Structures are given as C-alpha cells and as structure tokens.
C-alpha cells in the first residue's frame, strides 16, 4: 500500500514522502535530517528524490542523501542543482519502480524559470508555485509565465490533492481577505485551517477545488478578482495575466 506523508523541515517547509513500507521517494528534501530520521525509524530505503526548483531549501539534502543512500535525484535542467542523476522537462513521464509511482512532469515557470511540478496518484507536488491560498513570489518569471503555469494547474481534476512545499496558508488567507473578504468559502477555510494550526497540524494537502474557491491567485479569470485588478491597475479591462499580476503586486506590497 502506498502512503503519503509530509515531514516538517526548517521553519515552514514540508518534505512530501511516498512509501510502501519498504521503499520511499521524497519531494524537495531541502533538509536531509528529518527525512533520514523518518527513513531510519520506519526502516525505509530511499530510492529517489524529486526536485521542483533550484532554491536551496528544496535541494539542500541532495548531496548527503545521495551519498548516504545512493538514491536517484530527479530535477529540472539547472546546473545550480547539486547531485542530479536524471534531468526532467515539462511533458516528460516519470516512472519509478520502488515504490511504483508514475508522474507527469509539468513545466511551471514563474517563481523560478526552472520550476517543474509532478502530477500523479491524484496529487500535485507544486513546490513553490501554488501555496495554500497563495502562490510563490515571482523571483525569476513574469506574471504572464506564472499565469500560464497556473492555467495548466487549473486544468487538473478538482479532486487533485495540492501538496505545497511551505505552510503559509494562514498568512495567505489574511491577505486574501483584504481583497476577497466577503467570500464565504474563504471565511470557512480560515476557520478550519486556524483550527488545524492550533493543533499544530498541516493545512495541506488541500484540494484543487478548495484552491479554486478560495485562492485569489488561481481566480484571475473570476469577475470579482478582475474588478479588483481593474481598480488596482486603473485599467478598465485587464487581461487575465494582468489580473494575476495585480494580485501578486498587491500581495508583495502587503508583505513589505
């Protein structure tokens, strides 16, 4: 039987781990220690690491994990990512034997140019592209690029479990309320996710349906978000990517 768990790392990262009781695969183990502890405690062999993008809090475990376990390291094409054994590109299919896992690789540039996401087994491992009620900052890409990446994610089934790399949900909800405060689904999510965090439980994975209903960064085709962007940009008819860009700019200003 396949099991998926999230291991907390650093202050607010999650390392997602699939295992079948014998072999394990980990997504973005930036800190190797919690993963090695989990593997030891459960007598699991690490067969592969899947990397979404080059940031150190996602790739920092690669060298040590490969040394200790001999695992394969799958990653996008970027020389800044250490210890890579297999390069992946959008459109690739990834088939792993132990445990038996099958993913479609989605190119999701925006947060970084190299960013890829993994889709399979009803789950999306989206790194720093989508967060609970939020999205990654545009460190390298443009709003147009990120909006196209988010459109690809929006085309996945509503039941898809969204497995993000950070626990940022409550902060993101606080921002979302400043532009979408009368959205009942958002207010309901705030109640539920606050209760989870009060018990130190993750708010993730969420479902794509929930993100579509509450995450302003996935609602850039929505009339309410378009009206917000029109006022923010002082532009009567913004394009969807401009609506996304306005929401991102408003969040960046709110953060600072």
Binding site for Zn ion (CB under 5 A): 55, 128
User: Residue 32 CB, nearest distance to Zn ion (Å)?
Assistant: 18
- Are 181 and 216 in contact by the 8 Å Cβ rule? The answer is no
Determine the Cα–Cα distance for residues 32 and 231; give it in Å rounded to an integer.
Answer: 46
For the question of residue 58 being annotated catalytic, the response is yes
For the question of residue 237 being annotated catalytic, the response is no
Q: Which is nearer to Zn ion, 137 or 177 (CB)?
A: 137
Cβ atoms < 10 Å from Cβ of 182: 8
114, 166, 180, 193: which is the annotated catalytic residue? 166
19, 23, 54, 55: which is the annotated catalytic residue? 55
Determine the Cα–Cα distance for residues 125 and 49; give it in Å rounded to an integer.
Answer: 12
User: Residue 81 CB, nearest distance to Zn ion (Å)?
Assistant: 12
For the question of residue 128 being annotated catalytic, the response is yes
Q: Which is nearer to Zn ion, 167 or 242 (CB)?
A: 167
Sign of CA dihedral 204, 256, 147, 95: negative
Determine the Cα–Cα distance for residues 149 and 165; give it in Å rounded to an integer.
Answer: 17
19, 23, 58, 115: which is the annotated catalytic residue? 58
20, 57, 92, 222: which is the annotated catalytic residue? 57
User: Residue 23 CB, nearest distance to Zn ion (Å)?
Assistant: 27
User: Residue 137 CB, nearest distance to Zn ion (Å)?
Assistant: 8
Q: Which is nearer to Zn ion, 13 or 69 (CB)?
A: 13
Q: Which is nearer to Zn ion, 49 or 229 (CB)?
A: 49
For the question of residue 193 being annotated catalytic, the response is no
Q: Which is nearer to Zn ion, 133 or 164 (CB)?
A: 164
19, 53, 54, 115: which is the annotated catalytic residue? 53
Residue carrying the six token digits 């890829």? 116
Maximum Cα–Cα distance across the chain: 59
The full DSSP string for 62-79 is HHHHHHHH--EEEEES-T
Q: Buried b vs exposed e over 110-149: b needs ≥16 C-beta within 10 Å?
A: bbbbbbbbbbbeebbbbbbbbbbbbbbbbeebebebbbbb
114, 128, 180, 193: which is the annotated catalytic residue? 128
Determine the Cα–Cα distance for residues 233 and 247; give it in Å rounded to an integer.
Answer: 10
For the question of residue 19 being annotated catalytic, the response is no
Determine the Cα–Cα distance for residues 204 and 160; give it in Å rounded to an integer.
Answer: 12
The residues carrying an active-site annotation are: 53, 55, 57-58, 111, 128, 166
């Amino acid at each position: 039987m396949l099991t998926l768990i999230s291991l907390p790392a650093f202050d607010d990262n999650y390392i997602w781990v699939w295992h079948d009781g014998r072999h394990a695969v980990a997504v973005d183990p930036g800190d190797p220690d919690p993963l090695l502890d989990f593997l030891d405690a459960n007598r699991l062999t690490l067969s592969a690491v899947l990397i979404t993008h080059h940031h150190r809090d996602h790739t920092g475990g690669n060298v040590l994990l490969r040394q200790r376990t001999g695992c394969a390291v799958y990653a996008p094409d970027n020389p800044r990512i250490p210890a890579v054994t297999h390069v992946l590109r959008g459109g690739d299919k990834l088939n792993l034997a132990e445990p038996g896992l099958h993913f479609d690789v989605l190119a999701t540039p925006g947060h970084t140019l190299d960013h890829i996401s993994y889709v399979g087994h009803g789950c999306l491992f989206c790194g720093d592209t989508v967060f609970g009620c939020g999205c990654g900052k545009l460190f390298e890409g443009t709003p147009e690029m990120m909006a196209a990446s988010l459109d690809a994610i929006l085309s996945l089934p509503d039941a898809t479990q969204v497995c993000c790399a950070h626990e940022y949900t409550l902060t993101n909800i606080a921002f979302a309320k400043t532009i979408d405060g009368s959205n009942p689904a958002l207010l309901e999510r705030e109640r539920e996710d606050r209760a989870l965090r009060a018990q130190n439980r993750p708010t993730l994975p969420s479902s794509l349906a929930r993100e579509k209903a509450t995450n302003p960064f996935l609602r850039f085709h929505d009339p309410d978000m378009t009206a917000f962007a029109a006022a923010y940009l002082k532009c009567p008819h913004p394009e969807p990517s401009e609506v996304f860009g306005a929401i991102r700019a408003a969040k960046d200003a709110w953060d600072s």
